[in-house]
């Protein structure tokens, strides 16, 4: 454990996490040993195989309800890790045939000198997750669900990177992979797919020395956003979704633990575009540095490329981060790019006391299933459908 802790920025904080993980694993080992002792290895193994086979049957049955055909979709990944106003074009070609489905990401960009690359296992997990939510959300999460699914991404691409590619911000790209899958299947199962959700793992981080106790600290929080509009109702406001897998940090806990003050924490009114059913509202969170001199930086996508709407629904509002010095001026965080390394730093800035960093997450795309829009082949400008699909009725 000491070797691991020596490679952590804040070993005093991480030691509790590691001890909890070790304790959980030891308990798991004891309980598995107890099951083997009571039932024997062979019956236990047979039961596990039965569960995998059961999951596979359910997944195949769910896939079988999707119309056969080939569906394609494209979206763009913007990030402070990329130069200027660059955005990476990501695309999927999905082929569904009987009880099997293939997701082909050939044509996505090569891995790059940024931490947006995804290792192969993370890409697979993201694909399995997205299909599970649309096909059978109550499906047991085990390897059986992946058996009817084939995923293709060339080695050395952003979705299947080679060492030593940086992957620290891979969740940003993973969120866009989910958007691709949802967008592709919008034509096939419009009653299940939502408009684009916030499509990012937006976060705000500060680190430095806490002047109250002289200890080094790091504050990092993933900030939620809106949920995409659904076929028959509005999207949820101010929630986490997809691969963020985090909870809201109460401002009372933030202010008690760090030399920071939450000036505002609220939903952003009208942060999505109009539609029959609106997308969820984004979040505004204003953090003020109370004492000491800290370094802070945000991570955000969907700041330049807004979440898309479906069937005529308008896109949601983009994200935004500003720095407000004590003199009342407004300035965007500067970008720091190290071109000699695979690890690029994004929007880092020194923050003296009384500096505020307002972070605004995005509203979501809207769903507009009127008689005209529902006859469209796909979200405008986003997809081309290569097969004829009988659409559901428009009486939503």
Mean pLDDT computed over every residue of the chain: 82
Higher pLDDT, 115 or 271: 115
Q: What percent of the chain has pLDDT over 90?
A: 43
Instruction: Give which of 288, 198, 179, 276 is closest to 238, Cα–Cα.
Output: 198
C-alpha distances (whole Å) from 77 to each of 58, 87, 300 are 33, 5, 10
The answer to whether the beta carbons of residues 287 and 260 sit under 8 Å apart is yes
pLDDT category of residue 353 using cuts at 50, 70 and 90: low
pLDDT value, residue 204: 81
Q: How far is it, in rounded angstroms, from Cα 287 to Cα 354?
A: 10
pLDDT value, residue 346: 39
Q: How far is it, in rounded angstroms, from Cα 184 to Cα 324?
A: 40
Q: Which residues contact 371 (CB under 8 A, 6 or more apart)?
A: 394
pLDDT value, residue 367: 57
Q: How far is it, in rounded angstroms, from Cα 357 to Cα 354?
A: 10
**Alpha helices (runs of H) in the chain, residue ranges in sequence order:** 2-6, 11-39, 41-64, 120-135, 170-185, 251-257
pLDDT category of residue 58 using cuts at 50, 70 and 90: very high
Mean pLDDT over residues 19-41, rounded? 95
- The residues facing 208 across adjacent strands are 217
pLDDT value, residue 374: 33
Judged on CB neighbours under 10 Å (0-12, 13-18, 19+), 292 is: middle
pLDDT value, residue 244: 79
DSSP 80-135: TTSSTT-EEEEEEEEEEETTEEEEE-TTSPBP-SSTT---HHHHHHHHHHHHHHHH
Q: Which residues contact 195 (CB under 8 A, 6 or more apart)?
A: 228, 229, 235, 275, 279, 307, 308, 309, 310, 313, 316, 364, 365, 366, 367
Instruction: Give which of 249, 176, 227, 183 is closest to 362, Cα–Cα.
Output: 227
> How many C-beta atoms surround the C-beta of residue 191 within 10 A?
12
pLDDT value, residue 198: 81
Return the minimum-mean-pLDDT range out of 51-65, 137-151, 288-302, 374-388: 374-388
pLDDT value, residue 122: 96
pTM above 0.75, yes or no: yes
DSSP code, position 275: -
The answer to whether the beta carbons of residues 91 and 63 sit under 8 Å apart is no
Distance of CA 193 to the CA centre of its chain: 16
pLDDT value, residue 68: 97
Domain residue limits, the chain: 2-39, 50-385
Return the minimum-mean-pLDDT range out of 15-29, 81-95, 295-309: 295-309
Would the pLDDT of 388 be above 80? no
pLDDT value, residue 72: 97
Instruction: Give which of 224, 228, 144 is closest to 178, Cα–Cα.
Output: 228
Evaluated on CA atoms 71, 140, 61, 44, the torsion sign reads positive
Q: What is the pLDDT of residues 155-182, one digit of tens each?
A: 999 999 999 999 988 999 999 999 999 9
Return the minimum-mean-pLDDT range out of 106-120, 128-142, 149-163, 305-319: 305-319
Would the pLDDT of 386 be above 90? no
């Amino acid at each position: 454990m000491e070797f691991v802790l020596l490679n952590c920025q804040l070993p005093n904080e991480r030691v509790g996490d590691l001890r909890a993980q070790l304790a959980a694993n030891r308990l798991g080992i004891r309980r598995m040993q107890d099951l083997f002792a009571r039932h024997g290895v062979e019956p236990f193994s047979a039961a596990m195989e039965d569960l995998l086979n059961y999951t596979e049957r359910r997944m195949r049955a769910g896939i079988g309800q999707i119309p056969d055909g080939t569906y394609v979709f494209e979206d763009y990944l913007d990030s402070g890790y990329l130069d200027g106003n660059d955005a990476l074009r990501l695309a999927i070609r999905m082929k569904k045939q009987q009880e099997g489905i293939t997701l082909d990401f050939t044509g996505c960009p090569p891995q790059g000198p940024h931490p947006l690359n995804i290792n192969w296992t993370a890409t697979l997990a993201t694909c399995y997750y997205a299909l599970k939510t649309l096909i059978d959300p109550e499906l047991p999460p085990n390897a059986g669900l992946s058996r009817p699914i084939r995923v293709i991404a060339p080695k050395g691409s952003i979705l299947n990177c080679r060492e030593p590619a940086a992957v620290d911000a891979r969740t940003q790209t993973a969120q866009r992979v989910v958007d691709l899958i949802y967008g592709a299947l919008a034509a096939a199962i419009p009653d299940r797919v939502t408009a684009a959700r916030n499509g990012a793992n937006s976060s705000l981080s500060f680190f430095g020395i806490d002047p109250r106790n002289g200890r080094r600290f790091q504050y990092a929080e993933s900030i939620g956003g809106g949920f995409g509009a659904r076929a028959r109702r509005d999207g949820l406001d101010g929630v986490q979704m997809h691969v963020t897998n985090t909870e809201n940090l109460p401002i009372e806990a933030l202010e008690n633990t760090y030399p920071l003050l939450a000036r505002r924490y609220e939903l952003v009114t009208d942060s999505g575009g109009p539609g029959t059913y609106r997308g969820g509202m984004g979040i505004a969170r204003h953090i003020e540095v109370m004492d000491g001199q800290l370094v802070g930086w945000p991570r955000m996508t969907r700041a330049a490329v807004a979440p898309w709407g479906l069937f005529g629904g308008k896109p949601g509002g983009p994200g935004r981060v500003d720095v407000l010095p004590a003199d009342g001026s407004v300035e965007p965080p500067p970008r720091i790019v190290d071109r000699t390394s695979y690890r690029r730093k994004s929007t880092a800035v020194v923050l003296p006391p009384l500096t505020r960093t307002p972070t605004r997450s995005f509203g979501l795309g809207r769903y507009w299933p009127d008689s005209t829009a529902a006859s469209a082949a796909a979200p405008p400008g986003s997809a081309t459908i290569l097969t004829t699909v009988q659409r559901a009725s428009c009486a939503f």
